[in-house]
Structure 1
Amino acid sequence: MTVAEAQNPAPRTPRITLIDTLRGVALIAMATYHFTWDLEFFGYVDPGTATQGVFKVYARLIASSFLFLAGVSLVLAHFPKIRWHSFWKRFAMVAGAALAISIATLIAFPSEWIYFGILHNIALSSLIGLAFLRLPPFLTGAIVVLVIAAMIVDYSLLPGALDSALFDARYLSWLGFAEIPPRSNDYVPLFPWIAALLAGVTVARIALSRKWLPRLAAVQTEPNLLSKAGRHSLIVYLVHQPVLIALVYLFSLVHPAPPPDPRIGYVRSCEAGCTGQGNDRGLCQKFCGCTADKLIAQSLMTPLQSGTIAPQDERVQSLAEQCSIEAQ
């Protein structure tokens, strides 16, 4: 570096308040979803409410928005030159927070602890994303399209085509190719979710090349509560759920929820998974009703739902085979 370069370093891209605000909006959405999860956990809404139907789509949109904005921020902070000290500092904060969540949930929810959630994905995808910063945007965009196409094939056209039991163990399931990933309260594997971050990288690179940033910066010039929350999103993320779950817990001490019917939650979850694999709805209803009855009759429903026994348990597999025959 010359003396002139040292005295006149390359200017940094100014912070765009609108992006902080969008991140703040994502935080609000995330809090509403987690509040629904808390209500389900304490029995105020039906089992499976937060993980099926509209709320399942809602959760995926929220995760996608965080990863997309992380990709945008990666470009704004580290293109055209990676600021290594700043990157590793931020990476350590996110990875450290992810580790803290893993430890906390392992203690609080040992059968469903978070081993690779949204923060784990943001940390790893950001590291991988560095390799895409200088690639032509159309090439990164093409990779995003390929990942999305592979996801459509794996989830809809040929369900499970890319999955293998070899990836079922926790130390490999984070890649996203497990047939039956370990249970977790937050599972955001690398595939296909890295596509959302790379999409953010692509859009930000295009915005830079077409000089859209000044116009984006002009949309919002003054900070507000949302932008302030978005600027400190990691702290908000770590604090909001303990606060929400504590509030619901305190409410439950005054107004306890009615005892849940484990059969309802099981059948709903079973039918969603069965139809999601392309099976006939009527067949799925018969199969799930049959397995629910047999699980209850053999006193296996509660151990299965609590994670005490796994879906791969021989007793569970045996009754599933029986119900597959009976449902035909």
Structure 2
Amino acid sequence: MNPVAPASLSPAARHGRLDALRGVAMVWMTLYHFAFDLNHFKFWQQDFLRDPLWTWQRIGIVSLFLLCAGLGQAVAAQQGVDCQRFLRRWTQVAAGALLVSAGSFLVFPLSFIHFGILHGVAVMLIVARLSVGWRIGWLLLAGALALALPSVVQALLTPGALADALNDRSHNWLGLVTRRPYTEDYVPVFPWLGAIWWGLALGRWLLQQRPQVLTGALPAAAEPLAWLGRHSLSYYLLHQPVMFGLLMTWEHFMR
């Protein structure tokens, strides 16, 4: 799970409150991943696939990240971020996705991350960029349809060639699957594009009607969270290798 900051905004143009909200998501994600790592090393056994304590937390973390990504695209559009700056940031996200796939393959070769949060964000940022000028009502409607689409497809799709094709790795990035792929992280376009569109709609509305919510002063106590939010991509790529390394060292000396 991973956040992405608005497309290459200069520090002076950034909204501290949005960065701090992304920082909250980063802290939450770190605590979740630390618990996951403890389970992986068998220091603290938990059921991350079925226990609602963990499944609902994962939904909440991913939702918050993607909401922030949508808010960030609304801010970037208002500030006139051009295609060159957008593509520079997008390239960083896409490269990060490739690194995640490669790194997870080394640790989890049978369940490596082939379409996780960074992969999903890379695709969804392009969609958000193309739809940033839509009316807020259309964004809300599109978000609702995106969230509902997988459930509708699953209800209508019968076992057969089409279901098998959608479940195949080459197509399951869409999210229209009848069974969850065996992978350590899975954030397909649908339904998660809905969270991006709703974040974009919320950002557009706030900037038009309540700009102080995003542009207001940030309390000094929240500055560390804002700093974390400004460096979200780098932190995301580094935090798991660091925690894995520390736990591997602990395991070596404790066992």
Give the TM interval when normalised to the shorter protein. Answer: 0.7 to 0.9
**Cα shift at 1:255:** 2.9
1:218 alignment counterpart: 216
2:39 alignment counterpart: 40
**Cα shift at 1:166:** 1.3
Question: What amino acid does structure 1 have at the position aligned with 2:231?
Answer: H
1:130 aligns with 2:129: yes
DSSP-derived class of the 2:216 partner: helix
Question: What amino acid does structure 1 have at the position aligned with 2:121?
Answer: I
Supply the distance in 2 between the matched residues of 1:26 and 1:231 (Cα, whole angstroms): 12
Supply the distance in 2 between the matched residues of 1:152 and 1:255 (Cα, whole angstroms): 46
The answer (yes or no) to whether the contact 2:149–2:190 under 8 Å persists in 1 is no
User: Structure 2 regions of 5+ residues with no counterpart?
Assistant: 1-10
The answer (yes or no) to whether the contact 2:150–2:175 under 8 Å persists in 1 is no
2:76 alignment counterpart: 77
**Cα shift at 1:14:** 3.5
1:145 aligns with 2:149: no
Structure 1 pair 35/154, CA: closer, same or farther in 2 (3 Å)?
farther
The 10-residue stretch of structure 1 (101-110 or 88-97) with the greater mean CA deviation from structure 2: 101-110
Question: What amino acid does structure 2 have at the position aligned with 1:109?
Answer: F
C-alpha RMSD over aligned residues: 2.4
Question: What amino acid does structure 1 have at the position aligned with 2:184?
Answer: N
**Cα shift at 1:248:** 1.6
**Is the radius of gyration larger for structure 1 or structure 2?**
1
**TM-score (ref. length: structure 2):** 0.86
Structure 1 pair 168/154, CA: closer, same or farther in 2 (3 Å)?
closer
Kindly report which structure 2 residues correspond to 1:1-328, keeping only aligned pairs within 5 A, or say none: 14-46=13-45, 48-49=47-48, 52-79=51-78, 81-151=80-150, 153=152, 158=155, 164-210=163-209, 212-220=210-218, 222=220, 224-256=223-255
The 10-residue stretch of structure 1 (163-172 or 52-61) with the greater mean CA deviation from structure 2: 163-172
**TM-score (ref. length: structure 1):** 0.68
Supply the distance in 2 between the matched residues of 1:221 and 1:15 (Cα, whole angstroms): 15
**Cα shift at 1:247:** 1.6
Structure 1 pair 135/150, CA: closer, same or farther in 2 (3 Å)?
same
Supply the distance in 2 between the matched residues of 1:15 and 1:216 (Cα, whole angstroms): 10
The answer (yes or no) to whether the contact 1:17–1:221 under 8 Å persists in 2 is no
* 1:226-268 Cα distance to aligned partner (Å, 9 max, x none): 1101100001101111111112222222334xxxxxxxxxxxx
Question: What amino acid does structure 2 have at the position aligned with 1:217?
Answer: T
DSSP-derived class of the 1:174 partner: helix
The 10-residue stretch of structure 1 (228-237 or 40-49) with the greater mean CA deviation from structure 2: 40-49
Question: Which fold has the larger relative contact order, with Cα–Cα distance below 8 Å and residues 6 or more apart in sequence?
Answer: 2
Name the % identity. 29
* 1:182-209 Cα distance to aligned partner (Å, 9 max, x none): 3111111111011111111000111122
Q: Which runs of structure 1 show a deviation greater than 6 angstroms over 4 or more consecutive aligned residues?
A: 159-163
